[in-house]
Amino acid sequence: MTNDSSLTEDQTAKVIALAMDLAREGKSAELADFLDHGISVDVQDAEGNTLLMLAAYKGQADAVSMLISRGANVDIRNARDQSPIAGALFKGEDAVVALLVAAGADLDAGTPSARASAAMFGREHLLS
């Protein structure tokens, strides 16, 4: 969020929570409006999840694509050291994995890494 002193800490938390819900639900147009009004594309919730992480985990390929096009960092890990691409692999979201690979996601970052996650689920072919 931009440093706007007109919002209280509670209001800022509510705006972030709404944006996170939009990312989970794949509501790209509404989420883009939030970004246009100053919320950071890499904003994180209390657990360290980004908009991209939540959209990736829920298989929201259109939202993931929009966030990447807006400059989202594809390698920000949450508080549990999970990366968006490892989460997408875990959930079987092949289209999202392809978007993140194309965007240059670090396949060795996080615990477990995308490479380890792909190996666990026999999906190494998605990373090439």
pLDDT tens digits, 27-38: 999 999 999 999
- Per-residue burial over 7-45, b if 16 or more Cβ lie within 10 Å, else e, is eeeeeeeebbeebbebbbebbbeebbebbeeebbbebbb
Name the average pLDDT for the chain: 94
Q: Which CATH number characterizes residue 44's domain?
A: 1.25.40.20
Query: How many domains does the chain divide into?
Result: 1
Confidence category of residue 5, pLDDT binned at 50, 70, 90: low
Residue 3 lies in a domain: no
- Residue range(s) defining the domain that contains residue 53: 9-127
Residue 49 lies in a domain: yes
Residue 22 lies in a domain: yes
pLDDT tens digits, 58-114: 999 999 999 999 999 999 999 999 999 999 999 999 999 999 999 999 999 999 999
Distance CA 63, CA 113 (A): 23
- Residue 84 in tokens: 């968006």
Q: What is the pLDDT of residue 7?
A: 74
Residue 28 lies in a domain: yes
Distance of CA 108 to the CA centre of its chain: 17
